[in-house]
Chains A and B, each alone.
Chain A
Amino acid sequence: MSEQKSSTMQRLLLLIPMVLAFGLGLFLYQGLGKDPNKLESSLLGQQLPVFIGESLNAPIKAIATDDILGTPSLINVWATWCPTCKAEHAFLNQLVASEGVRIIGVNYHDQREPAQQWLAKLGDPYEFSIYDPKGQLGIELGVVGAPETYLVGADGIIVDKITGELNERTWAQLKPQYDELMAQAN
């Protein structure tokens, strides 16, 4: 009798892989048809999330949402492990130098030391970088993956965002809006 019982028990255990696979299938099903580049919790048109973070270059200095407000800015999410970030870095430097665009960095899922070395070596286009090793600010912003660039107005409203490399082509998409924001701010 007890043997039979344990055999039924084992039969039920054998069902586990199927149940897990079924659950996974449901997840995959609901993921279909959604554009992975699009933000589910899209913050476009909304206020920047309120946060307090650490500065990458000066560990004791706290940075809050207020530090970003006041001037239209680009918020650029980057990391040293991200090859595309490296690819776009020269363009960011150029953007600051030639057009005087204010760029704020979010150093995403990274380590402080290599990140600082990276900026020392490649040049630092950022007014300041927020150190976000656990990706908390990234989650608040709805970051898909580095690099990502958000265009934020002086009032902290997120106007647009570029997923992937910022270059001449993608900047052309942001520039008219940026110019408009600048005109408003002045």
Chain B
Amino acid sequence: MIPEIGHLALILALCLSVALGVLPMLGTYTGQARLIMAARPLAIGQGVFLSISYICLTLAFVYDDFTVQYVASNSNSALPVQYKISAVWGSHEGSLLLWVLMLSWWIMAVSQFAKSLPPIMLARVLSVMGLIAIGFMLFTLLTSNPFWRYLPEGASEGADLNPLLQDFGLIVHPPTLYMGYVGLSVAFAFAIAALLDGKIDAAWLRWSRPWTLVAWGFLTLGIVLGSWWAYYELGWGGWWFWDPVENASFMPWLVATALIHSLAVSEKRGLFKNWTILLAILAFSLSLLGTFLVRSGVLTSVHAFAADPERGFFVLVLLALTVGGSLLLYALRATTVASRTVYSFWSRETFLLGNNVLLVIAAIVVLLGTLYPLLLDAFGGGKVSVGPPYFNAVFVPLMVLLIIALGIGLLAKWKSIETNELTQLLRSPLLVALVLGVSFPFAYAGEFNASTALAAALMVWLIMTTWTDLKRRIRHQGWQRGLRQLNPGYYGMMLAHLGIGVSVMGIAVVSHYEANHDIRMAPGETLQIEQYAFTFEGTRDITGPNYVSVQGVVKVDEDGEFYTYLHPEKRTYNARNQMMTEAAIDPALGRDIYIAMGEPLEQGAWAMRIHFKPMVRWIWLGGVMMSIGAGLAVWDKRYRRRRPAKTSAA
């Protein structure tokens, strides 16, 4: 019964979305206030029904209703309950429902928190989001319905959730990432509403900024969680693989990063408005493209969903309607009146434009690398993958330029700055960055190394330019009053920028100084890495709720004294008879010790993978800082001030 209620609720949510997508929009053109006012209740309605639908599917998982096909193929009665709940998004159908659920929550949030928006504007924004919801609910119902039953008889036991996904990382990673993906639809809807309205004014920009920041914050956190999960769960010891699915989340992130900066320029200076609109459209389009790449089976990936051309075709049609439609609207309605605002070359505007261009180029580079196999295939060249060498070669220089531009842009002023003054301001950050950058590898490892020196220099450059800017801002008030006077947005920006430095540092150090040993270890053997001695003491058998496991016991000594025991595991999951590697990790801010078990060899010996990863945590720490920075910026009072709706229904 419960799955039927869920199914019905999903259909009702679809009906309400159709109403939401059509009626308020119609009302804004015919001037019928009732239709315009219907937007908010409809938004709430579809959100409530979709939540009911989602809860029903979750209940089907919790109560082991294996007559439901989707439950039977992704759960098992022995699965711990937290994984039964997360198994809802463990495969295509359910994760799509989660995607739609997130969208409906964003719609509800907009309808609640944007009350002071002009009613026409709000109606159009909600209608556009309703239209997107229609597309994805139809997609769910027609091609990927999670509520189908095995009738008349169901399975007696489920096939279990893929063991890779039975993990805390999977509980938190997809919802966070989807919040980010889907959140970009708000900026998109605002952009479309502005295009329909024909004017892009400061009010529009101020409204869409906090939404975009929240979405960006979630997206950042989602990517970080994904990277962290891949690191400890896949057992490969890497943290980023340039896999198509990873790229699918990275492209919208790059464009959304450009968007939050361009929104700032547009709001403060009234410049780049067309560009901002285009970025808002592109950011969401790329998140849709990601959905297509992951779910259509056109590319190979470690974690693509089951390939299904029919589904792929459906998403492609959705993509064509959304992206094609919005870009056509853009071509027809974007303003061609050149902005009269002037700015000189040496100004913050120039460097923010530089930031935008670099980020968009980076996104294109990732897009080409991801689609290259497909493009080459289209020209009859066979399917080839380009792999990390390509990405690293083009990506690193772009990021270096970006960080340099970031520092200069931070210290330049709006409109223009005297070159003398700018050089004056930049001189000491540059000097300190060069000196500390060059000395870092000597201090850290005793010998010079160009890539870590560069990373350290960039990080110091970020810290110093941020510091110089901060000093300049509070020079008249003194520290105490000055710091209090700065708004949360400024602190958010500082934190996010420093986060980039922290991540870059982590990436460079771990890439260069990591020590990876893949060796055969017999019980009693010892391996020495840096100050740590690893002694393999043997294995023992362990039984978990739905798996059996061989657990290795590795004693770790630091400088000859006992430090800790680490227990890597090789698990075999009962239901699927699938082997899984559980790495044992001793984390610390300065370094990770990472041990994974490979294959059993003769006489109790094992192939062991022992990695020493200095500063790998910094990569994720930086991402978390960026995400918190976005959160702080949203807290800014400017966004919460109620403005009387001046430009209401004309």
Chain A residues engaging chain B, CB cutoff 8 angstroms = 7, 10-11, 14-15, 17-18, 21-22, 24-25, 27-37, 39-41, 79, 81-83, 86-87, 90-91, 109-110, 121-122, 135, 138-139, 142-146, 163
**Contact indicator B382/A139 (Cβ below 8 Å):** yes
Q: Contact partner of B383 among A86, A135, A142, CB < 8 A?
A: A142
CA distance A30 to B40 in the complex (A): 41
CA distance A17 to B331 in the complex (A): 8
Instruction: List the 8 shortest-distance A-B pairs measured between CB atoms, nearest first.
Output: A145-B385, A33-B309, A18-B327, A142-B382, A83-B236, A41-B382, A10-B336, A31-B298
Q: Contact partner of A139 among B307, B319, B381, B599, CB < 8 A?
A: B381
**Contact indicator B599/A90 (Cβ below 8 Å):** yes
With contact pairs A25-B320, A28-B292 given, residues A143 and B384 touching in the complex (Cβ less than 8 Å): yes
**Contact indicator A32/B298 (Cβ below 8 Å):** yes
Chain A residues near B384: list those with CB within 8 A: 135, 138-139, 142-145
Chain A residues near B316: list those with CB within 8 A: 25, 28-29, 32
Q: Contact partner of A79 among B299, B312, B331, B387, CB < 8 A?
A: B387
Q: How far is the CB of B81 from chain A (nearest CB, A)?
A: 32
With contact pairs A31-B378, A32-B313, A39-B383 given, residues A90 and B330 touching in the complex (Cβ less than 8 Å): no
Chain A residues near B300: list those with CB within 8 A: 36-37, 144-145, 163
Sample of 5 more A-B contacts, CB < 8 Å, known A31-B377, A144-B300: A18-B331, A21-B285, A25-B319, A31-B298, A36-B383
Q: How far is the CB of B231 from chain A (nearest CB, A)?
A: 12
**Contact indicator B383/A32 (Cβ below 8 Å):** no
Chain B residues near A146: list those with CB within 8 A: 387
CA distance A75 to B138 in the complex (A): 47
User: Can you name 15 A-B residue pairings with CB atoms under 8 Å?
Assistant: A14-B331, A14-B334, A22-B324, A24-B371, A31-B378, A32-B312, A36-B383, A86-B236, A90-B599, A90-B607, A109-B387, A135-B384, A142-B383, A145-B387, A146-B387
Q: Is B238 an interface position by the 8 A CB rule? A: yes
A-facing mask of B311-329, CB < 8 A → 1, else 0?
0110010011001100110
Chain B residues near A7: list those with CB within 8 A: 336
**Contact indicator B298/A36 (Cβ below 8 Å):** yes
Q: Is B436 an interface position by the 8 A CB rule? A: no
**Contact indicator A31/B374 (Cβ below 8 Å):** yes
Q: How far is the CB of A23 from chain B (nearest CB, A)?
A: 11
Chain A residues near B374: list those with CB within 8 A: 27-28, 31
CA distance A144 to B274 in the complex (A): 40
**Contact indicator A18/B328 (Cβ below 8 Å):** yes
Q: Is B373 an interface position by the 8 A CB rule? A: yes
Chain A residues near B323: list those with CB within 8 A: 21, 25
Chain A residues near B324: list those with CB within 8 A: 18, 21-22, 25
CA distance A135 to B234 in the complex (A): 27
- B371: nearest chain-A partner, CB-CB: A27
Q: Contact partner of A144 among B312, B375, B385, B518, CB < 8 A?
A: B385
Chain B residues engaging chain A, CB cutoff 8 angstroms = 234, 236-238, 241, 274, 278, 281-282, 285, 292, 296-300, 307, 309, 312-313, 316, 319-320, 323-324, 327-328, 330-331, 334, 336, 371, 373-375, 377-378, 380-390, 518, 598-599, 607
- B337: nearest chain-A partner, CB-CB: A7
- B392: nearest chain-A partner, CB-CB: A81
Chain B residues near A145: list those with CB within 8 A: 300, 384-385, 387
Chain A residues near B297: list those with CB within 8 A: 35-36
Chain B residues near A18: list those with CB within 8 A: 324, 327-328, 330-331
Q: Contact partner of A35 among B307, B336, B378, B607, CB < 8 A?
A: B307
Chain B residues near A139: list those with CB within 8 A: 381-382, 384
Chain A residues near B598: list those with CB within 8 A: 87, 90
CA distance A87 to B236 in the complex (A): 9
**Contact indicator B378/A27 (Cβ below 8 Å):** yes
- B292: nearest chain-A partner, CB-CB: A28
CA distance A50 to B382 in the complex (A): 17
With contact pairs A21-B323, A34-B377, A86-B518 given, residues A81 and B389 touching in the complex (Cβ less than 8 Å): yes
CA distance A40 to B298 in the complex (A): 13
CA distance A79 to B309 in the complex (A): 31
CA distance A21 to B334 in the complex (A): 17
Chain B residues near A41: list those with CB within 8 A: 380-382
**Contact indicator A144/B285 (Cβ below 8 Å):** no
Chain B residues near A86: list those with CB within 8 A: 236, 518
Chain A residues near B298: list those with CB within 8 A: 28, 31-32, 34, 36
- B301: nearest chain-A partner, CB-CB: A36
- A140: nearest chain-B partner, CB-CB: B382
With contact pairs A34-B298, A39-B382 given, residues A21 and B336 touching in the complex (Cβ less than 8 Å): no
Chain B residues near A87: list those with CB within 8 A: 236, 598
Chain B residues near A27: list those with CB within 8 A: 371, 374-375, 378
- B520: nearest chain-A partner, CB-CB: A90
**Contact indicator B387/A83 (Cβ below 8 Å):** no
Chain A residues near B236: list those with CB within 8 A: 83, 86-87
CA distance A90 to B518 in the complex (A): 10
CA distance A18 to B322 in the complex (A): 11
CA distance A146 to B236 in the complex (A): 15
Chain A residues near B238: list those with CB within 8 A: 83
- A8: nearest chain-B partner, CB-CB: B336
CA distance A122 to B520 in the complex (A): 10
CA distance A79 to B392 in the complex (A): 15
- B607: nearest chain-A partner, CB-CB: A90
**Contact indicator B378/A30 (Cβ below 8 Å):** yes
CA distance A146 to B388 in the complex (A): 11
**Contact indicator B327/A122 (Cβ below 8 Å):** no
Chain B residues near A35: list those with CB within 8 A: 297, 307
CA distance A138 to B388 in the complex (A): 16
CA distance A11 to B274 in the complex (A): 12
Chain A residues near B327: list those with CB within 8 A: 17-18, 21
- A168: nearest chain-B partner, CB-CB: B599
CA distance A79 to B389 in the complex (A): 10
